[in-house]
Amino acid sequence: MRIQKPGIRPVIIAALVAAPVIALGACSQDGADSNAAATACEGPGVVVSEAWMRAARAQQPMSAAYLTVCNGADADDALIGVSFAGAQHAELHQTTMKEGGVASMTTSPELALPAGEFASLAPGGGHIMLMGLEKAFEPGDAPVMQLQFKNAPSIEVVLEVRAASEQSR
């Protein structure tokens, strides 16, 4: 049996929360498996953090948004729907790497939110695809996204728009 050193857990949690910030790559590039970043979290209820989207130029048809969700409730939940005023359509996607390093995207019906754990949509893994963008999105903008859950009430989150230069570090 391993002895748990007191004080070590907060450090690990902080590192995992920060991971989406450091994670690299666009939805068509490789990256860490964000779904592996599950660790204990505390609510109350469903709490969203690290909500951001990639900047998009005028006429650019698509972009992607990412976020981290802590399900601090006692029961499992799931993110089952998203809506975004600045796009004709928004849906959950999952990027998977095939042999030969070719990335492909599939729609995913929901993001599972196990009770007491973090779940992330991060570059290289899950993302919210924003299709049919109706305008440009630049750093400093504060677009709002609605998130629908199986159990928890809907939440509105303000997305941070991150510049192209930050996207490909």
Q: Under the rule (CB under 5 A), what is the footprint of Cu ion?
A: 27, 93, 105, 129
Tell how far CA 118 is from the center of its chain: 11
CB of 41 to Cu ion, least distance (A): 26
Nearer to Cu ion, 80 or 105 (CB): 105
Q: CB within 8 A of 2, min separation 6: which ones?
A: none
* Structural Rg of the chain based on CA atoms: 16
Is the separation of the CB atoms in 31 and 131 below 8 Å? no
For CA atoms 107, 84, 37, 167, the dihedral sign is positive
Kindly state the smallest distance separating residue 82's Cβ from Cu ion, in Å.
12
| DSSP conformation class of 85 | T
Cβ closer to Cu ion: 71 or 120?
120
User: In terms of CB distance, is 15 or 60 closer to Cu ion?
Assistant: 60
Cβ nearer to Cu ion, comparing 110 with 117: 110
Minimum CB distance to Cu ion, residue 150 (Å) = 22
Minimum CB separation from Cu ion for residue 15, in Å?
A: 27
